[in-house]
Amino acid sequence: MAQAWKCSGLRWSADGPVLVWDGGRRSALTWGKRVAFGVAEEGVRTCVGARGHACPGGAVVPGRSTGARCEECARLDRAHSVAADTIADDPRPYHVYLAWFGPGMVKVGITAQARGSARLLEQGAVCFSWLGVGPLMAARRTEELLRAALRVPDRIPYAEKRAVRAALPETAADRAREVAELYERAVALPAWPESLVREPLRVVDHVGVFGLGGLPVAVGQVSELVAGGVVGGELVAAAGPDLHLATGGGVVVLDTRLMTGWGLLPATAGELTVPTRPFKEAAGVQDGLF
């Protein structure tokens, strides 16, 4: 029997998307590459643990969970997290950014300056610009200021991001317009923290990085992996955790977070046999191994 591998998730490198496996093995993903894997016949999905430690109980977790953690490990994972706002003493400088995912979908967020644009790639931001840089609490206060004064959200659901990827404006200038307009409104606000240094407007576009130019409309997305199921398709685009795979029935989106916790095997057949669901309509537009 072939060795089963466990996926640690999709990461973005300077060369593009990479699948990372437990033990350190890495699989670079390039456009046109065949992605094909199966789930072990008697396999179950187990908790991936928290903060580098294995789940003490080896708990079984639901196939549709994108976190792949039991309740206790999920709590521990967020107990020391900037995203969960549970730490305030991180001495590193933080960037405040505006990220655009499609028409009408701009969010504000923060990320450690040392991470560069990795956080934006991980979220699937189609384009973005920095707003400022400074201490963590100053960055957090600026984020809250924009949310309250300009009604800018700090989260956009992945389902909404996926729904518009095949219908984005064609030019980088059109894609940058909402970010530029919001940037001007943001920097005009009073009460910015004095310790936050404002950054000039420089919109970075990820359409080429993600392979979204001419992207076919997806017919659906994988809803979960199941024991004995197979995923197979040609990679046509990737954004955030999502792989857009061309299959015999059309393009299907695989959220690679659904892969974690399973024992996965190489597959020779390319048929897609895991459960899928169609996209929902969103804002008038039809609703991520080797």
Backbone angles phi, psi at 134, to 5 degrees: 175, -170
Residue 29 has pLDDT above 70, yes or no: yes
Contacts of 168 by beta carbon, 8 Å cutoff, 6+ apart: 102, 126, 175, 207, 212
Question: Cα–Cα distance between 106 and 117 in angstroms, integer?
Answer: 16
- Whole-angstrom distance, CA of residue 255 vs CA of residue 172: 26
Q: What percent of the chain has pLDDT over 70?
A: 91
Q: For 76-89, what is each residue's pLDDT tens digit?
A: 988 766 554 546 66
Helix, coil or strand: residue 72: helix
Q: What is the pLDDT of residues 86-112, one digit of tens each?
A: 466 678 999 999 999 999 999 999 999
Predicted pLDDT of residue 79: 74
Greater pLDDT, 35 or 269 = 35
Cα–Cα distance between 154 and 149 in angstroms, integer? 13
Per-residue pLDDT band for 289 (boundaries 50, 70, 90) equals very low
Could you give the CA distance from residue 272 to residue 11 in angstroms, rounded to a whole number? 24
Residue 105's nearest CA partner among 60, 31, 196, 167 is 167
The amino acid that residue 265 corresponds to is L
pLDDT at 280 over 70: no
Q: How far apart are the first and last CA of the chain?
A: 19
What is the structure's pLDDT at 288? 31
Which is more confidently placed, 34 or 281?
A: 34
The stretch 274-290 carries a mean pLDDT of 58
Q: pLDDT tens digit string along 214-227?
A: 999 999 999 999 99
Residue 113 neighbours by CB under 8 Å, 6+ apart? 92, 93, 94, 95, 133
* Interval 26-50 mean pLDDT: 92
Q: What's the chain's average pLDDT?
A: 90
Q: What is the pLDDT of residue 87?
A: 61
Across 73-77, 126-130, 257-261, least confident range: 73-77
pLDDT of res. 9: 92
In the numeric block, which tokens belong to residue 47? Answer: 């908790």
The answer on pLDDT for 290 being more than 80 is no
**pLDDT over threshold 90, residue 211:** yes
What is the structure's pLDDT at 2? 67
**What's the predicted TM-score (pTM) here?**
0.91
pLDDT at 1: 53
Per residue in 121-167, pLDDT tens?
A: 999 999 999 999 999 999 999 999 999 999 999 999 999 999 999 99
Among candidate residues 25, 38, 21, 12, the one with its CA nearest the CA of residue 227: 38
Buried b (16+ CB within 10 A) or exposed e, 132-165: bbbbbebbbbbbebbeeeeebeeebebebbbbbb
Residue 39: its pLDDT value, please?
A: 94
